[in-house]
Structure formats: structure tokens, C-alpha cells
Amino acid sequence: MIVVRILGGLGNQLFQYAYAKSLASKGYQVKIDISSFKNYKLHGGYQLHEFKIDLPEASKWESFIAKYGFRIPMKEKSLLFQKRFLKPKKNAYIKGYFQTEKYFKDIRGILLKQIIVKKQLSSSTIKYLEKITIKKNTCAIHIRRGDYILDEKANKVHGVCGLNYYKEAIKLMREKCGEISFFVFSDDISWVKKNLKIKNAVYIDHNVIPHEDMHLMSLCNHNITANSSFSWWAAWLNQHKNKIVIAPKNWFVSKENEVACKDWILL
């Protein structure tokens, strides 16, 4: 049996789950280890249970055995694609972020059926969903601030997409799509309202429910992402055939990456 550790915010959890599910699709017996969330309280904690996922969770005993050396440990050495993770040992405990669709692109159809919100949406989410549905041509914009601003370590790794990136992305989206309505999502929406004035835009101003906001973003025709796994998944889950996705060229401050998909536009 293989055990894959799940940790981080919702976007990272989805990358790890997608990787684990890809192993299961190859015939591996796979369980996910969520025990680290006992002491991890950032970004809303564990959230995969909000979706229709089906990989079993490792028991406390199985997690203990996996963590403390009774399995072969495998850990990502970098955030670049590593082929060795496609065919791991059958008795491994795996830790990583797996932030590229190269690990799971071949099971996209399966993931689209599983990464679906299970419960009734909140009333505020339904209100915004109706606005998105009414508009003929829509684009979700995600602006990540939060820990990217306040946490020194996160800032050094990720940096923050500047206002110029968003202004250029909006300009390009209008050039390609003509008349378009923007729906703006952020973990600091009051700052965005003051600093990024967008014509024909709806600012999503409610208590953030991560899985519901990701769902709303995925329903728009197009996406402008931050350098964030959260908006990456919103764009990847977007099933519009002619979607345009604009993403930042520099996902990390100083590291190479393969996060953005090949058909996305990088600015």
C-alpha cells in the first residue's frame, strides 16, 4: 500500500489528491494521510471532504507506521516534475506538492467528476452564481494577498503578483474577448476594491468559503490567475471549450516551475 501525505491549503490538497488518484488509477492501493492537519490550522485546514473524492484515509495506526520508517520514504526534491513518482515502490510513504498536471492529466475526466461540491451552496454563493450565469461572457480574476504579504517566508518564495500584471491581463482579455464581465475574488477584497478599479466588474465580497469560491471561479468562461494553487485549480476545473487562461510567468520568486499548463498565456 502507498500512503500520500495531504497538507497545505485547498489548492495544494487537490494537487496531492490528484497525484494519489493517478496512482490508484494505475492499480496501486493508495490511502491519503491527513493526520498532519491535527496541528495545521492555516487556510481553513483540511477541505477535501467537501468534494466527492473516494480515496480512503489512512488510519491513525497506518499513518504512524508510514511516518516513522516502516515504509519507504519518498519526498520531492524540487517542485519540478519528477518521473520517478509515476512508478513508486508499492510500499512507500510519499510527501510532495506535485504542482504540475503532468502527474495526473491523463485522469482529467475522473477528477472532474470527483472535484464537485457535495453540499448545498451558501446563500451568498448562490447569489453570485446567478450573476455569473446571467452574463454571456465572464472572466474570474483571483488576487492572492494574505500570507503572501504577511508571512515573510511565503513572500520570499512566492512574491506577489503586482497590479501591473492584473492590468495587463485585463487589457489582453478584453482584446481577445471584447465585451466581458469580470468577477473578482481575493482574500483581501477591500484592498482590491481600493487599488484595482475595473470597469464592468463584480467584487466577490462575502466570507470566503474556499471550495465554493473555487467553484464559482471555475464556472466563468475565462480565468486570470494569481501565482496560487487555489486559482490554478479554478482555471483547470473550468470546462468551457474556448476558455482563455492568463497566468503569471513567474510563479515563484527564484525557482523554476512547471505549474502553468501549456495552453495558458503567461504574462
Question: Residue 165 — φ and ψ, nearest 5°?
Answer: -60, -45
| Listed residue (69, 68, 56) closest to 20, CA to CA | 56
pLDDT of res. 70 = 63
On the question of pLDDT at 221 being above 90, the answer is yes
Distance set, CA 175 to CA 168, 169, 263 (Å): 11, 10, 18
Q: What is the pLDDT of residues 189-216, one digit of tens each?
A: 999 999 999 999 999 999 889 999 999 9
Q: Which of 157 and 91 is assigned the larger pLDDT?
A: 91
Residues of the chain with pLDDT > 70, as a percent, come to 92
Q: Is residue 75 within a helix (H) or strand (E), and if so which, with residue range?
A: strand 72-75
Q: Would you call 45 helix, strand, or coil by DSSP?
A: coil
| Averaged pLDDT, 253-266 | 84
- Could you tell me the strand order of the sheet in which 30-33 lies? 30-33, 2-5, 92-95, 72-75
Which grid cell sits at 225? 490567475
Whether the CB-CB separation of 27 and 58 falls below 8 Å is answered with no
Residues of the chain with pLDDT > 90, as a percent, come to 79
Confidence of residue 241 (pLDDT cuts 50, 70, 90): very high
Q: Please report, as a single letter, which amino acid is at residue 167.
A: K
Q: What is the pLDDT of residues 11-24, one digit of tens each?
A: 999 999 999 999 99
Question: How many angstroms separate the CA atoms of 126 and 176, rounded?
Answer: 29
What is the set of domains in the chain, with CATH numbers? 2-114 (no CATH), 123-266 (3.40.50.11350)
Q: 138 has which bridge partners?
A: 181
How many CA atoms lie within 13 Å of 161's alpha carbon, on the beta-carbon side? 26
pLDDT of res. 39 = 83
Instruction: Name the pTM for this structure.
Output: 0.93
pLDDT of res. 156 = 42
| Averaged pLDDT, 62-90 | 88
